[in-house]
Amino acid sequence: MGFVLLLGGARSGKSDLARRMAVDSGGHVTFIATATPGDEEMADRIARHRAERPEGWSTVEEPIELLRAVCSAPAEDFLVVDCLTLWVSNLLGAGRGGGDVRPLGEAVARELKGRRGVVVSNEVGLGIVPANALAREFRDTLGAMNSVFAARAERAVLLVAGRTLELT
């Protein structure tokens, strides 16, 4: 038992694979969404994601208190956390520094280690060095968070163009 970490770039197939894994789990699913509708395009994106979820899944929309959302889900549920990228962005946007975010992530990863589920996150460290301090802090914080979750995951998978690569 344990969770799977799905990493990849934008539109690489992470959310689709997470949804398939949840359906294939055969159990009840709690979907924990971290996105907030900050603009019309994001609101449309959130609406599309909601529409793609099967009936019967529980959805918890929690942009900040991820640990509380994970802990409140029934222990037997298959959890989908989509996604760490937006959660880290939300925390930094709320004034938390990168050093404040890591212990929060470690607590969530510890809790998830004993649960069945899948966690989605973007891999943002493969590009150029960002030009401003906030973007660099985001990249560094998310990279550290991905490492924390990968260390506690049963499996870590990188998606590129819809294809998977097991990370060992």
- Positions annotated as catalytic residues are 49
Residues composing the chain: 168
Pairing of strands 117-122, 163-167: unpaired
Tell me the C-alpha to C-alpha distance, in Å, between residue 81 and each of 28, 118, 158. Answer: 14, 6, 16
Tell me the C-alpha to C-alpha distance, in Å, between residue 130 and each of 7, 139, 164. Answer: 20, 8, 27
Distance CA 36, CA 33 (A): 9
